[in-house]
Every structure is written in C-alpha cells, then in structure tokens.
Amino acid sequence: MRSSILPIALLQASHAFRKMNSGETLEILGSDLYTRECLFKVLPASRYEIVGTAKERSYWRILLRKKI
C-alpha cells in the first residue's frame, strides 16, 4: 500500500483479505495514517485480529490474522 492512491490501496487490501483462508496473516505496509484509519473501516472487525503493529522510519506495518 505504500505510495498507493487511497481508494486503490483499500481495494487491494480488501481483495487480498477476502482471498485469505482462516488463520492466514496479511501484512500491510502504509505511509499515510489516514489510510490506516480507513483500512479498519473497510475490513469487517469481527473477521480479523491484529497480531502486530510497528512504526518504521517512513511507514507503518500492521499484521492481521483472519478469523474463522
């Protein structure tokens, strides 16, 4: 998602998440805090758990595990 336009980045993340099997982990990298906020609005909260977050120098990293 780094350097992506917001709607496209959200669509890519949502599409990747839908294709995942339960128990798989999705790593998302982003440089814009607004994108991070919007990400949690488009993914159904009951379907994932946050298993890791980190702030790097120029971007943030989130690890989401898909629930059953």
Nearest-5° Cα angle at 26, 18 to 58: 130
Q: Provide mean pLDDT across the span 8-20.
A: 91
CATH node for 6-66: 3.30.110.40
CA–CA gap between residue 7 and residue 16 (Å, rounded): 14
24 phi/psi in degrees, rounded to 5: -80, 155
Asked if residue 18 has pLDDT above 90, the reply is yes
Q: What is the predicted pLDDT for the residue at 33?
A: 79
Please give the model's pTM, rounded to 2 decimal places. 0.80
pLDDT tens for residues 45-68?
899 999 999 998 888 899 999 998
Q: Is 32 exposed, middle or buried (0-12, 13-18, 19+ CB in 10 A)?
A: middle
